[in-house]
Chain A
Amino acid sequence: MGHYRTGIIIALVLAVITVVEFWIALTTHSVVFLMLIAALKAILVIWFFMHVKRLWAAEGGH
């Protein structure tokens, strides 16, 4: 399960952020705020799921 721990943690974080995002949309109509939240979610997916850091890894990066 250790290999999958990162995915589980990030999944929970994304779920919480999505709920917060929905609540913020109901209470405010801030375009900037909602896009910033979207950017945060995207960064999490890109960094942890898409392994972007492998682009500059020394070897193959596996």
Chain B
Amino acid sequence: MAAVTTPLSKPAHADTDYAHVAHDEHVAHGGHVETYAERLRLNRMGMWLFFISEAFLFGALLAARFYLWGDTRPHLDQMVGLIVTTVLLLSSISMYTADTAAEHGQWRVFSIACWATMILGLVFLFGVMIFEWGLFPGIYKGHLTPWGDKYGAVVFAMTGMHALHVISGVVLIFIMWRLARRGKFTPERHWGIEAAAIYWHYVDVVWIFFYPALYLIGVAAGGGH
């Protein structure tokens, strides 16, 4: 695939943080002089610290699942679980493609991959909302409610918290796509895109654990369909 090194519209502006600074130039910051590479490293560390803190949140939800359900699980549609899991995995691949394309200045590929990720993310979201939450009974009548029993409560807590992260991930990717269109990123300077990408992959990692916990582990019991 031929590299297209021009941004979607126009070059990066000097008012963007660090965009006008060469890689080895120093930027004064409250007396402390740091390079872009140092700032990038700090940004990445901050992002991973955030992921660790989120791991406690999702870990607590997993713990609640195993404590309340034990070796049982509700009747959930296995085909729905497999389909939404596949969709989310595909979205991770498209986001990886977008991230890689940005690294190599392939902005058209980046744009297409971003939209693929957003669309797949929304497909996942609506798949869960329609077929697990039963949010639109006209389309599909769900059998679980958050207040019904321990199965419904845990399913809605886990998938609901995950869905919030899916929504915020889609919004974040859209913002990065918009910024890229305005030429805010370069192959050398695209932390925003990288951050959105690894955030999206984190959402996928969470589902990698949630999927077996909700759909596969334990014997199907009452409390669902």
**Residues in B neighbouring A14, C-beta threshold 8 A:** 89
**Residues in A neighbouring B187, C-beta threshold 8 A:** 62
**Residues in A neighbouring B103, C-beta threshold 8 A:** 3, 62
- Residue of B71, B86, B204 with most chain A CB atoms under a 10 A cut-off: B204
Tell me the interface secondary structure of chain A in the complex: helix
Contacting pair A50 B40 (CB below 8 A)? no
> A18–B90 Cα gap in the complex (Å)?
12
Tell me the interface secondary structure of chain B in the complex: helix
A60-B209 contact given A18-B85, A49-B92, CB 8 Å threshold = no
> A46–B200 Cα gap in the complex (Å)?
11
Which B89-110 residues have a C-beta within 8 angstroms of A?
89-90, 92-93, 95-97, 100-101, 103-104
Least CB separation from A31: chain B residue: B217
Q: Which of B37, B82, B86, B197 contacts A60 (CB 8 A)?
A: B37
Contacting pair B201 A50 (CB below 8 A)? yes
> A62–B104 Cα gap in the complex (Å)?
10
Task: Tell me whether B41 is interfacial, beta carbon within 8 Å.
Answer: yes
Q: How many residues of B contact A (CB 8 A)?
A: 42
Task: Tell me whether B205 is interfacial, beta carbon within 8 Å.
Answer: yes
Q: How many residues of A contact B (CB 8 A)?
A: 35
Contacting pair A55 B44 (CB below 8 A)? yes
Contacting pair B96 A62 (CB below 8 A)? no
8 extra interface residue pairs, beta carbon distance < 8 Å, beyond A25-B216, A29-B219: A7-B93, A11-B93, A38-B211, A41-B208, A42-B208, A49-B197, A61-B40, A61-B44
B→A interface (CB under 8 Å): 1, 23, 36-37, 40-41, 44-45, 48, 71, 82, 85-86, 89-90, 92-93, 95-97, 100-101, 103-104, 187-188, 194, 197-198, 201-202, 204-205, 208-209, 211-212, 215-219
